[in-house]
A and B are shown apart, each in its own frame.
Chain A
């Protein structure tokens, strides 16, 4: 019985125009998006390799250890072909040296803002928006359409249990939609293979999970459409209802969750934090200069011309005090800076956590978060890269300090020393390039599948819960549906 009903659903979809239209739309969109994604990825790889090579060449031409600086680039992930996520928004490189702090700069969108206006359509976008909409278009009249058509009475004049009918509606329509979306998905994967994009085994697994989640996400809208079609006698009403819910859950709620969290957890803007940092530092330095003036004024008042030896001692003591105070102020400012940043980071994380939690009421948000996390193009991409770069900077600077120390005074630069006994001395360093071949190499942060799996499983569970709830809703609603 179930089999007969499923076959009929499948057959009626396959012979309909919507099947062909869906297949054509999905094929064109997915293939185009993957081709664009491959092109973008290849460009990103070429750029990464070229710039890396240039940075290597540049560092080899440096003649002073003090001026050694390296520019480390973010390595593009091949999964950005399917889920670009934040990879176009986040900066691509950061300078590594002792002078500047780590900060990823120059994102693709900041270089070419035109792409930010109409953002790139990738696989995730197509699934999130197009597939969900198609699923609704396939199912909004699944039950009440049959009633309007007049076939529902005839079906239920046979010994058909309602459970089997509603299950067959869901499964049959799901299969009918799966064919025109799965074939283009597989074609896209084939294109990626044909273009010889290197995927590691972990990346293949991630892609397989991404496809699974995409199908699960689309299934939610299939069941949702069937549910809506049991809620009203008229297919026009169920279409409007479905559209309103789709707009709410796909377009509004993901943004709404983030906006609500922004109002609940207040996070100061980074400019405000910078302002607080500067103001604190300014106050501290003013205090320092005031203290120093007081110390010097005291010493001037206590100093007499006859007491020259004592005066020299006092001067050294003052200089020591000045140095110690300066170090203390610097430590204090750095400590305050770290506290402010940590506080800001904690608030930002709390806001982000709450925002994502609230957004998860929408299947679209759950899907997007899971897809970005799987493709390693999520919100953690920036922080994990910057954290890895900061660690690398420490290692790099240690290396430079060590090399500089071993190279002796000058170390390739001009060194001026002043000594009260020896007087002033000026040394010019070597004029040939320094050897940096043994410098520490940056390890690109890689999030292992095992690490993100719990989060992905949570997202899958939420999607499954939504799916079963809607299926239950469709079943319960159909039990009360007037078949006449």
Chain B
């Protein structure tokens, strides 16, 4: 049963992906993410985190099962699904010869919003932490953190019900990491459903409502962050990995 005003936005139903070479990337994955909720997938490389995101984005087709956004299947009606999805990649790459504003303008229009004013662009850029003097600078002069902020600004401007973050804090300095978590919480408060894949145990614990530890396309553990609050997530992560004979990735530890 869902709480009042809660609505399932992102949903994986028996999601399975097998590649032609027999590798199972996702094995009967099930989860639901509601509005005002952050779901973090923790796991090493090749655990299936990015594959899950790719299926939601219809960059990959599932072998079986379904990935739904607002009840719509991502591989049956991908264009409808994408209207409700924003995506921020691990290493946000935008057009290096365009300024931050030009990049924002292009991707916002592509996202279907044609009515956004320059002031609004500037406002969002300021909100994500990009000072006014860099708004008209070409992206090729931006650091990874600054590009990440631009990517988040694009996701904010698209104004969708769900946002997918693929390793968003990878390579960010602590200050930028902190600012990101603050932004993530703001987005959650605005009612977004957030699916985040990460190696970063601390950031996951800090921001997520639900945390899942993933390996070989399966959730080894899926718990409400509130239930994990008093536990040492790091130990839990190590423990799960050890039980399954795996070498954990401990970025951010």
Interface: B246 (CB within 8 A): no
**Given A154-B87, A154-B94, 15 other A-B residues pairs in contact with their CB atoms under 8 A:** A8-B106, A151-B94, A151-B95, A154-B89, A154-B93, A154-B154, A155-B110, A156-B59, A156-B82, A158-B82, A158-B112, A159-B82, A159-B112, A160-B82, A483-B59
A1 nearest in chain B by CB position: B110
Interface: A391 (CB within 8 A): no
Contact A154 B79 (CB under 8 A): no
Give the complex CA separation of A202 and B79 in angstroms: 52
Return the CB mask of A6-24 against B: 1 if under 8 Å, else 0. Answer: 0010011001100000000
List 4 A-B pairs, minimum CB-CB distance, nearest first.
Answer: A150-B93, A157-B87, A159-B79, A159-B82
Contact A156 B98 (CB under 8 A): no
A149 nearest in chain B by CB position: B93
Contact A158 B60 (CB under 8 A): no
Residues of A within 8 A of B82 (CB): 156-160
Query: Chain B residues in contact with chain A, CB under 8 A?
Result: 54, 57-60, 78-80, 82-83, 85-87, 89, 91-98, 102, 106-107, 109-112, 151, 154, 158, 164
Question: Which among A15, A153, A158, A159 has the highest number of chain B CB atoms within 10 Å?
Answer: A158
Give the complex CA separation of A12 and B102 in angstroms: 10
B166 nearest in chain A by CB position: A153
Residues of B within 8 A of A160 (CB): 82, 110
Residues of A within 8 A of B78 (CB): 159
Contact B97 A12 (CB under 8 A): yes
Contact B110 A158 (CB under 8 A): yes
Interface: A194 (CB within 8 A): no
Interface: A161 (CB within 8 A): yes
CB distance from B61 to the nearest CB of A (A): 11
Give the complex CA separation of A12 and B103 in angstroms: 11
CB distance from B153 to the nearest CB of A (A): 13
B111 nearest in chain A by CB position: A158
Give me 20 A-to-B residue pairs in the complex whose CB atoms sit less than 8 angstroms apart, sorted by A's number.
Answer: A4-B109, A5-B110, A15-B98, A16-B97, A149-B96, A151-B95, A153-B57, A153-B59, A154-B89, A154-B92, A154-B94, A154-B107, A156-B59, A158-B82, A158-B107, A158-B111, A159-B82, A160-B110, A484-B54, A484-B60
Contact B110 A4 (CB under 8 A): yes
Interface residues of A in 1-56 (CB under 8 A from B): 1, 4-5, 8, 11-12, 15-16
Give the complex CA separation of A4 and B110 in angstroms: 7
